[in-house]
Structure 1
Amino acid sequence: MKKYLLFLLFSFSAICFGQMYKTLDTADYIQRKEFAKNYTANNEILIKDLKTRYSGKAGSEVSKIYKELGADFETKVKNKDFVFNSVFDTKVKNLIERLRKNNAQIPQNLKILIAKNNTPNAYCFADGTFVINMGLFNWLNNDDQLASVISHELGHKITGHTLKAILNMINEDQMDKTVVQNIKSDKTNRSQRAFEVLKNRIYQKGAENRKQEMQADSLGYVVFKNSDFKKTEFINALKRLEDFDTISPKQLKVETYRKFFNLPKQEFQDKWLKKEDFSLYNYDHFDQKLSKDSLKSHPEVTLRINNLKKIFPELKTEVADEKASESYAVLGKIARMETLPNFYHSESYGVGIYASLQFLQDGEEENYYKGWLGRCFEKIYEARKNYKLNRYLDRVDPKNQSESYQQFLNFMWNLSLDEIKNIADYYQTKES
């Protein structure tokens, strides 16, 4: 959720076609059905191959895991989490072909999917299904930066990181069972010893994941530099991702609340802005049993950049981002307009309202974002009425949220059921 909020920071120019913009068509039943059918068949072939390659307990466990992963992914496909034959497909396929020209190790059977997800991320499955989140088109600045992220994921694919991680997990499970049996046989400090086993397992997994990320960076850059992309954009892409990880959300001004919630039939009330007082909470007494740094699956982006510069000296020279091509700029605008539809699809209604208000505060496409404001408020109303609001709206967390987002959450929780309904109705009528 935190990363969703950080996504709202980056400022783009106004989109001239916003007033007429229609969300991407997801009436792609035939394509989804065909993809799901092929994916299931390919996953079954993969599982049979794994059983042949790994006998005994390991073969049985790895096959079970891939079967569960496949079933979960099929559910996402059926849930319309991806768009088929979209305007983004051609661009991604073109970039992969450019990468493949001088990199024979890139698999030929890659199948591209565009996810209705606003986070700038990508991932690849063992069968060659390559998922690109729509957020990458919004967050990154040009073709080369997108190609660098694809190269990184190809690094994971080529080295078989996913399968290696699963096999390590299975092996560690077996070792842990032996340790657990020893703990059961000796009651001395049983709870503490069990916790140490769990902690060591979690830390070890985090360390292995961070190591794999570094490896994927290095191999990904080799793939990238062998192609016709500008080398320095590999580092520039990481810097963009670092911004996504670390910058606090842009401030939502109090005046914005007054402007958009002072309605003809419901005047704005100052009590809606009242904040919960957390000053009496003493966080110094909180005993953190697990180190956050050791839990991270990715190394700090600064470390990744420094590691690449150490291995590849040509990356030490920093150059400003290349200007986006016309085709990439168009896709970036479409991805930006899909921000609210994507939040709505993922049932992130609270964040959707926060995003709508930030777009409206910047004066972007008022009719479009007012419409989504109304839709999200309608869902919040239904959740509040059915005592399910916690599913769609965060609670205030002073240690992990910006002041702006805390203010927003206080505002939302301060609204009564009727007040929420009045806002939802207003922004879903023509008079808004």
Structure 2
Amino acid sequence: MTKKLIVLGYFLCSMITIAQTYKPVDTADYIQRKAFLKNFEGNNEVTVKRLKSQYSGKTGTELSKIYKEFGTDFEKQVKNKDFIFKSEFEASIHSMIQRLKKNNPKVPQDLKILIAKDNTPNAYCLADGTFVINMGLYSWLNNEEQIAAVIAHELGHKIEEHSLKTFLKIIQQDELDKVVVDNIKSTTTSRSHSQNQKAFDILKNRVYKKGVERRQSEMQADSLGYAIFKNSDFKKAEFVNALQRLQDFDTISPRALKVETYKKLFNLPQQAFNEKWMKKEDFSLYNYNFYKEKLNKDSLASHPEISRRIEMLKKTFAELKTPADPEKPTDLFVALKKTARMEILPNYFHSEDYGLGIYTAMQFLQDEEEEKYYKSWLGKCFSKIYEARKNYNLNRYLDRIEPKNQSESYQQFLNFMWNLSLDEIKNIADFYQANETLAKVN
């Protein structure tokens, strides 16, 4: 959820005007989904058989199990309409990949494209050549060149088979750990602090080693990805510009919600605003420094700091040392960027992040953006929150307060939401849903 919150930082920093008659992207693509699933299932079976024959014994068995489980999980995501087919996004990505294939024979020729209804700026490539692009890349990056840079980086992972290598190392490490654990048991007659410490040291060393290997993979994917990128007809400096934009994703914070925004949105004709809703839980007596960190977070990080990645690229490729302003986006990119922005609420709703959907809608409404559109989503999300509260499963859709990991603004929002009674939530939901119905009639 923390990453999802960070996404808001950029989305809410600028105003983009779109007609209030905007309709969410249509996911009534049953025929395309059915065809994709049929091909994916067949391709995954071929991959599993190939790995089982390529790696004998337990390694082959474990690998085939991993890829079978992954395939099953991915198919569920497709059936859940987590992806969209035959869209302008797909055409845009296909055009970029065609450009990346120029002078790059290592780039797989059978890449298939899927656009994910996900607001985080990310992409990944599957074993069968399915390339997944999150819609959030269009909201976050500045132009097609930067999206192509992200794709090139992921192609670096694909060409080097980093995922497969990671799985192989995990299987190998599991076997080594079992031997060490058996040795600990045989040399210790009773369960003691010493035995527990030895076991923890095994875990710690394994996690640290995994972190180092994954950071090395990221650096390698950067170098190979840039080599692919510069061999094509993209502007070289945009590879670094893309990384700098992704660094913003890790550091930027969303603007705070004002108390006046709560009062404006929730002082209703049938339910006056109650100051008690804004009461905060006091965490000042909690001593969060009492327990020392047993694992070093820097050693656990799977992605090295982007500043280090940029530094390494500039050190390796001299032409990247000279900074350049971002290229001007095409009209198609601008249109897709606007669409991606308007899909933020539908995407959160689809992923059942109803609490975050309310928080996001309030941010947009505070900026006076598309009032009718975002008020309608406010009503939809509150309606789902009401159902969850009534069924005693609100924790599934609304975060608990974590002072160390959340901004002051988001903590205030969560206090507000948890302070509302069941009837008060229903009144808010009914009000905004009634307004949506009235707006449609008019």
Shared fold (TM-score, shorter chain, > 0.5): yes
Whether 2:286 is the aligned partner of 1:281: answer yes
Q: 1: CA distance between counterparts of 2:403 and 2:323? A: 37
Q: Which residue of 2 aligns with 1:12?
A: 14
Shift of 1:313: 1.4
Whether 2:382 is the aligned partner of 1:377: answer yes
Give per-residue Cα distances to partners, 1:77-127, cap 9 Å, x unaligned.
111110011120000000000010111110011000000100000000111
Q: Which residue of 2 aligns with 1:259?
A: 264
The one-letter code sitting in structure 1 at the alignment partner of 2:111 is L
Q: Which residue of 2 aligns with 1:210?
A: 215
Shift of 1:294: 1.4
Shift of 1:186: 2.6
Give per-residue Cα distances to partners, 1:6-39, cap 9 Å, x unaligned.
111223332232x111111111111111111110
Q: 2: CA distance between counterparts of 1:288 and 1:99? A: 44
Q: Which residue of 2 aligns with 1:363?
A: 368
Q: Which residue of 2 aligns with 1:180?
A: 181
Q: 2: CA distance between counterparts of 1:163 and 1:79? A: 26
Q: 2: CA distance between counterparts of 1:229 and 1:15? A: 29
RMSD: 1.1
Q: Which residue of 2 aligns with 1:2?
A: 2
Q: Secondary structure at the match of 2:433?
A: coil
Q: 2: CA distance between counterparts of 1:338 and 1:198? A: 41
Q: Secondary structure at the match of 1:283?
A: coil
Identity %: 65
Q: 2: CA distance between counterparts of 1:333 and 1:365? A: 12
| Contact 2:143-2:333 within 8 A present in 1 as well | yes
The one-letter code sitting in structure 1 at the alignment partner of 2:129 is G
Q: 1: CA distance between counterparts of 2:263 and 2:328? A: 38
After TM superposition, list the pairs within 5 Å mapping 1:20-169 onto structure 2.
20-169=21-170
Shift of 1:205: 1.2
Which residue, out of 394, 398, 408, partners 1:393? 398
Give per-residue Cα distances to partners, 1:338-363, cap 9 Å, x unaligned.
00010001010010001000111111
Q: Which residue of 2 aligns with 1:243?
A: 248
Whether 2:313 is the aligned partner of 1:308: answer yes
Give per-residue Cα distances to partners, 1:19-62, cap 9 Å, x unaligned.
11111111111111111111000000111111111111111111
Q: Secondary structure at the match of 2:88?
A: coil
Q: 2: CA distance between counterparts of 1:235 and 1:14? A: 26
| Contact 2:345-2:360 within 8 A present in 1 as well | yes
Unmatched segments (≥5 aa) in structure 2:
none
Superposition misfits of 4+ residues, deviation over 4 angstroms? none
Q: 2: CA distance between counterparts of 1:2 and 1:210? A: 21
Q: Which residue of 1 aligns with 2:171?
A: 170
TM-score (norm 2): 0.96
Bigger drift between 90-99 and 4-13 goes to 4-13
Count, aligned residues = 431
Q: Secondary structure at the match of 2:113?
A: strand
Q: 1: CA distance between counterparts of 2:332 and 2:69? A: 38
Give per-residue Cα distances to partners, 1:342-387, cap 9 Å, x unaligned.
0001010010001000111111101110010111111111111111
Q: 1: CA distance between counterparts of 2:130 and 2:18? A: 34
TM-score (norm 1): 0.98
The one-letter code sitting in structure 1 at the alignment partner of 2:318 is P
| Contact 2:18-2:338 within 8 A present in 1 as well | no
After TM superposition, list the pairs within 5 Å mapping 1:407-426 onto structure 2.
407-426=412-431
Q: Secondary structure at the match of 2:425?
A: helix
Bigger drift between 88-97 and 312-321 goes to 312-321
Shift of 1:291: 1.4
Shift of 1:231: 0.9
The one-letter code sitting in structure 1 at the alignment partner of 2:255 is K
Q: Secondary structure at the match of 2:92?
A: helix
The one-letter code sitting in structure 2 at the alignment partner of 1:324 is P
